[in-house]
Amino acid sequence: MNSGDILSNLALYFSSFEVFFRRPYGDDGAFCYCCATVLTLIFILLCQIIRKVRFFRHDSSSSSPSSSPAVSASQSPSSQSRISTLVSDEDLKDLIEKLGERSDDDTEIWEDVIQKSNPRVSYTAKCCKPQDGGPVKYLSTTVFENCSPEVLRDFYMDNEYRKQWDKTVVEHEQLQIDSNSGIEIGRTIKKFPLLTPREYVLAWRLWEGKDKFYCFIKECDHSMVPQQRKYVRVSYFRSGWRIRKVPGRDACEIQMFHQEDAGLNVEMAKLAFSRGIWSYVCKMDSALRKYIATSYRPQGPTVSAVSLMKKVPSELENQTGDITNSSGTIITSEGAKRKKLLRKPSKKQVAKGLLLVGGAVGSAVCLSRGHSALGAKVALAYFLTKLRKRGAQQSQTSQNAGI
């Protein structure tokens, strides 16, 4: 007999027993009334107890099946196999080719962006705008004095420490790690001035070679982080680096390839990069010196892409033939030929352009009030267009004069 039958029989019994529900008269009536009250209270108490028992049984039976698939999903072979294919050795091969500037596309023209140095760090970068209209590609080399490759690797991969010195990173969390392939998936929120916060859901993997380390990172999706309207999800992200010791010096370098679509205007992104990257590198260097001085140890998860690092395949081990000079610049014969083809703008023109851009940002922020981001974007786009047209007119005039 189940609990429903018990409740039905008890209700039928008390409803058919009229003596318990008649108004009492005399001593016998009072006694019967008291008995009826007590039995009624007992009946109500039994109903509540049975109802509670039924609820807990239903809750436990419904929760256990639903929770078990979630656990098995994260450990299922199909899920693990999908993660293991996110970043492969082919991505490493492609990264090595990009860092060595061995590209099959002869139409790519790389433009020098910046070259800065101080006694502790040097930085060079160049960019290339793809012919197909994709995001701008960047190649950069940073050389840190008095630093080992292992320390620099740990510093770059320590996302918990990055939140302390990189104020653009406001949130980071590890989502999943595949112990077989060494691939780690994480989510990062970055906040930039005048812009909606950007959300990065990325997968990365590390390789260890002979006196060098590689890392490749790309965008991915994950069920734990659905898209939210308060963030702009970065839809395209390809980035990778190689860390190695500089021969004959107590220094190491990190050479990086980077390409992402963060929803920014191309000219605005290039301008922001060229004007702000050196300050960022100096800030990074200060954080690195503190990291070294305090013998900092990674504070993130104990199991990560660093602890699960794989070996570089033997066929890819020797595919690096570039040379780093004393300033940290990567020298290749192909890159040297292309540099000669690039026309560098005059210092006077650059100064005028920066003055116009500075005025645009200031006036946009002051005039637009509550819509400073939109005003700044519109003003920057307008003045950059004017500057580009003025440069084209000057180039046409000089050509005509030469003829």
Burial of 368 (0-12, 13-18, 19+ CB in 10 A): middle
Q: Give the type of residue at 249.
A: R
- Joined together, the tokens standing for residue 9 give 């029989």
CA distance 137 to 236: 12
One DSSP character per residue, 90-146 reads: HHHHHHHHHHTT--S-TT---EEEEEEE-SSEEEEEEEE--TTS-PPEEEEEEEEES
SS3 349: helix
Whole-number pLDDT of residue 311: 95
In the chain, which residues have pLDDT < 50? 1-3, 6-8, 10-25, 55-56, 58-75, 321-384, 387, 398, 401-403
- 194 closest CA partner among 1, 4, 10, 362: 362
- The answer to whether residues 292 and 151 touch, using CB atoms and an 8 Å cutoff, is yes
Whole-number pLDDT of residue 379: 44
Whole-number pLDDT of residue 144: 98
In sequence order, the β-bridge partners of residue 261 are 236
82's enclosing H/E stretch is: helix 77-84
- Joined together, the tokens standing for residue 167 give 């104020």
Tokens 């990257």, residue located: 277
One DSSP character per residue, 269-320 reads: HHHHHHHHHHHHHHHHHHHHHHHHHTT----S-SSSTTTTPEEPPGGGTT--
Whole-number pLDDT of residue 69: 31
CA distance 63 to 60: 5
The pairing of beta strand 236-245 with beta strand 310-311: unpaired
Whole-number pLDDT of residue 29: 55
